[in-house]
Chains A and B, each alone.
Chain A
Amino acid sequence: QKEVEQNSGPLSVPEGAIASLNCTYSDRGSQSFFWYRQYSGKSPELIMFIYSNGDKEDGRFTAQLNKASQYVSLLIRDSQPSDSATYLCAVIWYNNNDMRFGAGTRLTVKP
C-alpha cells in the first residue's frame, strides 16, 4: 500500500458544483496534511493545511480530516473553470520528519 493515495481522476464537475477530492494515508504517528494545487506546466502552490480532526474552511475551500479513518479531503465550493488543475495531497509524519506526496487528482471544471 502506498503511503499517500489519491484517485488520479480525472474528476469532472460542472461550474458552480462542489468538487470533492480525497486522500488516504498510512498511519505512522503524528501527522500534518497539506493540499497543493498545480496548474499544468506550473509548480505546486499551497492551498491549505490541516492538523486537527474536523473541518477547516478558507474561502471556497474546506479541508476535512478524519484520523480514525485515515483520510483527508478537500472540498471546493462553487467550482470555477479556473479551479481546473491537479490537486496534490501531502502528509508529514513528525516522528521521522518524513514528507510524502500523493500522485495527485486532476480536476476539470466545465463551464
Chain B
Amino acid sequence: KAGVTQTPRYLIKTRGQQVTLSCSPISGHRSVSWYQQTPGQGLQFLFEYFSETQRNKGNFPGRFSGRQFSNSRSEMNVSTLELGDSALYLCASSMGLAAQETQYFGPGTRLLVL
C-alpha cells in the first residue's frame, strides 16, 4: 500500500503571498490531520478533516484553512504568509478519526517564507 504523499516537498514564498499544500492519504483512510512543526514549538495540531468535514481545529489564526475532497485528499491553504509560518507541514492519515485510530505521517512540505 502506498503511504501518505505530500506535494510539494519544498516551497519558497515571500511574505504576503499565499500557499496551498496537498496531501493524499493512504488508500482507504478517511481522516487527514495537518500539523506544523518548528524547532521552537514542536509539533502543533492545525486541523483534522474526516469525510470532507473539519472535525477538530487547533489554535491557529484564520489565515490557515483547509478542505477535504470526496476522495479523502486534502489541501491546506495559508494566506498572507508571515516569516513565522516557515516550518515543516506534516499531514497524517488514519482510517477513522485521529483520536481513535493510528496515524501515519507523510514526508512533509518544508515551507520557507522570505
Contacts and interface: CB of A to CB of B under 8 A. Distances in A.
B55 A43 contact: no
A97 interface: yes
B102 A44 contact: no
Contacts, number: 49
A44 B99 contact: no
B107 A49 contact: no
A48 B104 CA distance: 12
Contacts of B99: 92-94, 97-99
Interface in A69-111: 88, 92-94, 97-104
Nearest to A45: B105
Contact of B43 (A46, A88, A93, A97): A88
B98 interface: yes
Contacts of A98: 56, 99
User: Considering the complex of A and B, which 9 residue pairs feature the smallest CB-CB distances, nearest first?
Assistant: A103-B42, A97-B99, A43-B105, A101-B43, A92-B99, A44-B105, A43-B108, A43-B107, A99-B99
Given A99-B33, A103-B43, 18 more contacts: A34-B102, A36-B105, A42-B107, A43-B90, A43-B107, A44-B43, A46-B103, A46-B104, A92-B98, A92-B99, A97-B55, A97-B97, A99-B45, A100-B45, A101-B42, A101-B43, A101-B45, A104-B42
